[in-house]
Structure 1
């Protein structure tokens, strides 16, 4: 729309059925406005690539910035769906999004961080522990992520792999500085991950901003939980498992963790140790491209399909999926179409790389 009315603002966005509302400035995306005002809309990449923020427009007009068709295609847009990370309001707008929650809106902060340790866990996975300022620990939900702000202004997103209660250790004579754990996979040629794997040193200082994301356990439900991870998508799942154990949450939970080869399940021993301590947690590792020398005797194939083989009826479950976009997208589509999962019980965080964000 290009009329004078359409160019005015700010506009009001109302989210149903919660009734929460907030204002959007001219040119500001709906998601950015919601985050700024503490309204917990669902989202993932914030770059129009993953589709996690897609919701239905009930009233009003929006204009979309550039985005990938797999996140929102023309047919979906024609029947009223929007990507809040790419949509700017051209009038007052009413959206339908059932995942909006007050709880998800911890304040987003920029802060310096110091590399505390680097631990190579497999041929292409580094566990990086970052020390945060000691005087003002960041608050976050298990499953959320932070963004590194690089010197040129580019950003890279990584989920916290430790639950919030582990942030500050108090078992010594004085409380230790808060530390977050990140699982970083090497993407050859990647500006940031090449640095992590070749040049990063302990005590290096980087800027972080967070927490971001709407991927965290919904604790107002007692439904059984399916945790679906591929590769380093396990990082936020690990935080969720730690949180469940710490809080004494006894909902039945099963983790399906997929990798190409067994070495990709880089914390397999950690998961098995948690299962020994948590009677309600089960673990199903799934390998898609095992070689003879791996001597793999467990489940094979695509990890999201293993879930449907074991649980053909997901109508009474919640699914929390994290990992490569192809895994998350396939799971979202197949579980709804073939396993009776209600769409609003699928919570996801797709790990979109910089290449993913510029691919259509």
Structure 2
């Protein structure tokens, strides 16, 4: 049986089979519902159900609590419809989405940017255009059918000529894919990717000042957004807060500082939580999302783009709402590990 799903306030509609999740149906039909992990672990796809009946599959309580579900909130990534449904998702504003493609890519270069961060550059096919928005991600298609998602760390205009992508990959010891990246992967290897995915990209129709919040390799899509802003001449007041445990976790600190002359509207605030005496760190310390609140206790007039570890993203979502940030002005991409996903399925 097929049901109709209406998304307000945009009025967009799509159909969903009773056996597919609302998010899968939306992606299939080019409707830009927000999402992150697609596995019920991060909460990025959470939205309000105005009417209709859905059933949730396995998910983590931190992504959707029983109280939130009772209040009418759902996770579209693991909810299936049992009737026509009306959702409230202010992020859905576009008439269409960029085409999702499966492509072969060749490893051009591997650069160790930090002890546990590899910058991977991939050559795209010259015969087929690959379009995406700064902030979106691709998924590697592994031989056993599993997937691994990574954000583009370069703006679309920089990926076009020559056709290539930059990704920032953090090593997760024991991880099937990242062990390969940091061990056996070499230049000229051929991989397969699919994308673009994700609703994490700059809303250019807004005039609100911007806060970019990144933890670890959550800087990757933020870098793409910064490059896009430079390219488009977007000069809205912008603050970038980038957090890591040690200074070396801010692995492209020099790159950010080099942008200062061309981006006078950008304020950069690096934050380190666990610096050692040998690091000689003289900058801000503590949790990066709290540094934002120290500088901006009233967030009612801002837009926030948060990317990185789920605990950082969800802490920011909660605490920034208490500081006056409207829910529709918070955009997020939580970097959910396979361990997180396994927990959500338990």
The bucket for the TM-score relative to the shorter chain is: over 0.9
Question: Counterparts of 1:268-287 in structure 2 under 5 Å?
Answer: 268-287=253-272
- CA deviation after TM superposition for structure 1 residue 104, in Å: 6.6
- Structure 1 partner of 2:45: 53
Matched, 1:325 2:317: no
Identify unmatched segments of 5+ residues in structure 1: 1-8, 170-175
Deviations 1:159-207 (CA, angstroms, capped at 9, x unpaired): 00000000122xxxxxx3x100000000011000000001001111111
- Structure 2 partner of 1:260: 245
For 1:101 and 1:19, locate their aligned partners in 2 and report how far apart those are by CA, in whole Å: 9
Deviations 1:322-348 (CA, angstroms, capped at 9, x unpaired): 0001111101100111x1111110100
Deviations 1:249-294 (CA, angstroms, capped at 9, x unpaired): 0100010000001000000000001122211011000000000000
TM-score, with length taken from structure 2 = 0.98
For 2:279 and 2:67, locate their aligned partners in 1 and report how far apart those are by CA, in whole Å: 45
Matched, 1:349 2:329: no
- Structure 1 partner of 2:73: 81
Contact 1:41 1:101 in 2 (8 A): no
Identify unmatched segments of 5+ residues in structure 2: none
TM-score, with length taken from structure 1 = 0.94
SS in 1 for 2:99: coil
For 2:276 and 2:297, locate their aligned partners in 1 and report how far apart those are by CA, in whole Å: 29
For 2:227 and 2:142, locate their aligned partners in 1 and report how far apart those are by CA, in whole Å: 30
Contact 1:145 1:159 in 2 (8 A): yes
Question: Counterparts of 1:190-229 in structure 2 under 5 Å?
Answer: 190-229=175-214
- Structure 2 partner of 1:43: 35
Contact 1:104 1:141 in 2 (8 A): no
- Structure 2 partner of 1:151: 143
Residue correspondences, number: 344
For 2:136 and 2:188, locate their aligned partners in 1 and report how far apart those are by CA, in whole Å: 24
- CA deviation after TM superposition for structure 1 residue 103, in Å: 6.1
For 2:104 and 2:61, locate their aligned partners in 1 and report how far apart those are by CA, in whole Å: 36
SS in 2 for 1:269: helix
- Structure 2 partner of 1:3: none
For 2:319 and 2:17, locate their aligned partners in 1 and report how far apart those are by CA, in whole Å: 38
Deviations 1:211-230 (CA, angstroms, capped at 9, x unpaired): 00000000010110000000
Query: CA 1:156–1:104 in structure 2 vs 1: closer, same or farther (change >3 Å)?
Result: farther
Question: Counterparts of 1:154-165 in structure 2 under 5 Å?
Answer: 154-165=146-157
Matched, 1:124 2:116: yes
- CA deviation after TM superposition for structure 1 residue 75, in Å: 1.2
Question: Counterparts of 1:288-299 in structure 2 under 5 Å?
Answer: 288-299=273-284
For 1:323 and 1:310, locate their aligned partners in 2 and report how far apart those are by CA, in whole Å: 20
Matched, 1:316 2:305: no
- Structure 2 partner of 1:172: none
How well do the aligned residues superpose, as a CA RMSD in angstroms? 0.9
User: Residue 25 of structure 1: which of 5, 17, 20 is its match?
Assistant: 17
Deviations 1:32-91 (CA, angstroms, capped at 9, x unpaired): 111111111111111111111111111110111111111111111112111111011101
User: Residue 114 of structure 1: which of 91, 106, 119 is its match?
Assistant: 106
For 2:105 and 2:94, locate their aligned partners in 1 and report how far apart those are by CA, in whole Å: 28
Contact 1:258 1:285 in 2 (8 A): yes
User: Residue 92 of structure 2: which of 100, 108, 113 is its match?
Assistant: 100
For 1:65 and 1:35, locate their aligned partners in 2 and report how far apart those are by CA, in whole Å: 18
